[in-house]
Amino acid sequence: MILVAIFLPLLAALPLGLMGTPSQGALVNAVLSGIVFILTLVAFAAPGSGLVHADELGLVFGGVTGFTGLTTAVANIFYLREAEPRLSLRRWRVYHAMCQVVLGSTLLGLYADNIGLLWAAVEGATIAATLAVSMPRTPSALEAAWKYFILGGVGIGLALFGTMLVYLAAQPALGPGFSAMSFTALAAHAPGMDGSLLTLAFVLILFGYGTKAALVPLHGWLPDAYAEGPAPLTTSLSGPLLNVALIAILRFRHLLEANYASGGTALPPGPFLLTLGLASLFLAAFSFSRRRDARRFFGFSSIEHSGIAAFAFGVGGAAAIFGGLLHMLLHTLIKSALLQVLIRAAALRGSTAPGHYGFSHLRGLIHSNKYTALVLGAAMFALTGLPPSGLFASEFIIISQTIQRSPWASLPLGLGLLLCAIPILRNFGPLVFGHAPVRMKPSKATPETHLVTLHLALSVVLAFAMPPMLVGLLSHVAEALK
């Protein structure tokens, strides 16, 4: 089942890329994403085994990835109606193929129980996303794609080197062969691994996968990719991809921590993650001001939330990791909802092409359409982490754990969170309730806005009324990875 969920989209990419009209492509894309979503749910009953199998972490995040993939694909059908004339037939085919490749490789990255396969999945997704970002073929899209390619290439290179060093570090415990590349086996034998080599490997992996998770200092590609690429693919689907990288960092962190805790020669991973997390948080806080493009603005918000998750993993302990994982789940739901409703808002104002997402262009949305404006406002408010947003719950857990375990870091964390919330709140008023640009007529909402509402509702439910089964799963994961 897991294998089908991964390889169906990857294989379907080929025919999607070669034939069909754009609207057929969008429809097939949505149907495939629906099947994949169902399969990621079926995986809860049949997680599989061996090289590619869903552990508990993979199950939870696989489900969210499938859900986001489905809503993105459905919203994409409506996006296409407006955007179809902007790209040629061939590019639309490639675009839909790339949607499937990104979805498939994201799932492969989540389900792979092999550090090499994980790396291959991340590289595949990077190449597909690079190709997608360059799709509009405008000078700024090419600039963004080139940045993505160069930074992504550096990150992927470092990550592969780190992966090989992990394999080498596992030699004393596991010997040559496939078992030294399996997360399950590595986690079981972490105390016997070569600690100093493992530390070196972790640093390389942190910077390597940190590039994909948009952690400082290799974050530069993300805001541009969000702002310049064709909307649904490069924005909504990138949330799950950030998760893959963060989860990879979390799993490797666990190896290091286990080795350190059992008296090995590894350094504790906490300080590395705390530093990068705080740096990302503050970079985002100071980059928010003076952003004119809404999608670039919210790109920096993704950097912020990646930083918070990395920080939580750095704090360590089961509760903080639980908080970090919850934060990632909720952020994926909220951010992809926000970016989808932004596309809707831009469509209300005439065009969804990159460059039409300026705050000055979108302001006063309530005069164009009430429902869309309120949903956009709700999504923005949710991002600030103020109650009743779901992120409040996860940030609360992370802060209280920080005070308990590394009190010195709680002050900068609180300050960073505050500094990040203020600019979002400052843009909230004008964007939703401000004066609309002249000659703006009210127009109708489209049905896919309900999907955004669904995303937001789901995030609140997950945060405040999480099903006991899911709580059990997540705390079990956090306990195992602490």
Partner 1 sequence: MSLTFPLAHLMGGIILVFAFSLLSQRRLAAMITIYQIQAFVLSAAAFWQGYAQHEVNLYLTGLITLVIKAILLPIGLRQIVLRFNMIRAVETAMPVVLSMIVGVGLIGVAVLVVLPSTMSAVSLTREDLAIALSVVLLGLMVMVTRRNALAQILGFLSTENGLVLAAIGMPGMPFVAEFSVALLVLLAFLVVGVFLFRIREHFDTLDLTGIEEIERRGR
Judged by the rule CB under 8 A, the positions of this chain that interact with partner 1 are 114, 116-117, 119-120, 123-124, 127, 130-131, 134, 137-140, 142-146, 149-150, 153-154, 157-158, 160-161, 163-165, 167-168, 171-172, 175-178, 181, 194, 196-197, 199-200, 223-224, 227-228, 290-293, 296
Give the burial class of 405: count Cβ atoms within 10 A of its Cβ; 0-12 exposed, 13-18 middle, 19 or more buried: middle
Q: Which residue has the tokens 């991973």?
A: 269
**Cβ at position 456, least distance to partner 1 in Å:** 27
Tokens of 91: 């590019």
> What are the residues facing 293 on neighbouring strands?
358
With CA atoms as reference, report the closest residue to 330 among 243, 417, 269.
243
Q: Which is nearer to partner 1, 203 or 318 (CB)?
A: 203
**Cβ at position 120, least distance to partner 1 in Å:** 4
Tokens of 360: 């000055």
With CA atoms as reference, report the closest residue to 357 among 284, 418, 427.
427
> What are the residues facing 112 on neighbouring strands?
52
Q: Which is nearer to partner 1, 227 or 463 (CB)?
A: 227
> What are the residues facing 358 on neighbouring strands?
293
The amino acid at 346: A
**Cβ at position 436, least distance to partner 1 in Å:** 22
**Cβ at position 202, least distance to partner 1 in Å:** 11
**Cβ at position 123, least distance to partner 1 in Å:** 5
Q: Which is nearer to partner 1, 68 or 427 (CB)?
A: 427
Q: Which is nearer to partner 1, 175 or 407 (CB)?
A: 175
**Cβ at position 442, least distance to partner 1 in Å:** 30
Confirm if 237 and 99 have CB atoms less than 8 A apart. Answer: yes
**Cβ at position 28, least distance to partner 1 in Å:** 23
Q: Which is nearer to partner 1, 264 or 377 (CB)?
A: 264
Q: Which is nearer to partner 1, 60 or 190 (CB)?
A: 190
End-to-end CA, the chain: 29
Q: Which is nearer to partner 1, 140 or 404 (CB)?
A: 140
Q: Which is nearer to partner 1, 21 or 140 (CB)?
A: 140
Q: Would you call 52 helix, strand, or coil by DSSP?
A: strand
Q: Which is nearer to partner 1, 238 or 402 (CB)?
A: 238
Confirm if 115 and 184 have CB atoms less than 8 A apart. Answer: no
Confirm if 126 and 152 have CB atoms less than 8 A apart. Answer: yes
**Cβ at position 178, least distance to partner 1 in Å:** 5
Q: Which is nearer to partner 1, 228 or 257 (CB)?
A: 228
Report the b/e string of 446-455 with b at 16+ CB within 10 A: bebbebbbeb
* Total residue count of the chain as it appears in this document: 482
With CA atoms as reference, report the closest residue to 476 among 113, 56, 183, 188.
56
**Cβ at position 359, least distance to partner 1 in Å:** 11
Give the burial class of 361: count Cβ atoms within 10 A of its Cβ; 0-12 exposed, 13-18 middle, 19 or more buried: middle
| Contacting residues for 157 by C-beta, under 8 A, at least 6 apart | 208
The amino acid at 203: V
**Cβ at position 69, least distance to partner 1 in Å:** 22
**Cβ at position 482, least distance to partner 1 in Å:** 25
Q: How many CB atoms lie within 10 A of CB 177?
A: 10
Q: Which is nearer to partner 1, 117 or 318 (CB)?
A: 117
Full 3-state SS string of 242-270: HHHHHHHHHHHHHHHHHHHHCCCCCCCCH
Confirm if 294 and 425 have CB atoms less than 8 A apart. Answer: no
With CA atoms as reference, report the closest residue to 344 among 447, 431, 240, 427.
447
**Cβ at position 334, least distance to partner 1 in Å:** 23
Query: Whole-angstrom Cα distance, residue 202 to residue 213?
Result: 15
DSSP letter for 435, please. P
**Cβ at position 128, least distance to partner 1 in Å:** 9
Q: Would you call 219 helix, strand, or coil by DSSP?
A: coil
Query: Whole-angstrom Cα distance, residue 179 to residue 7?
Result: 23
Q: Which is nearer to partner 1, 23 or 88 (CB)?
A: 88
Q: Which is nearer to partner 1, 128 or 319 (CB)?
A: 128
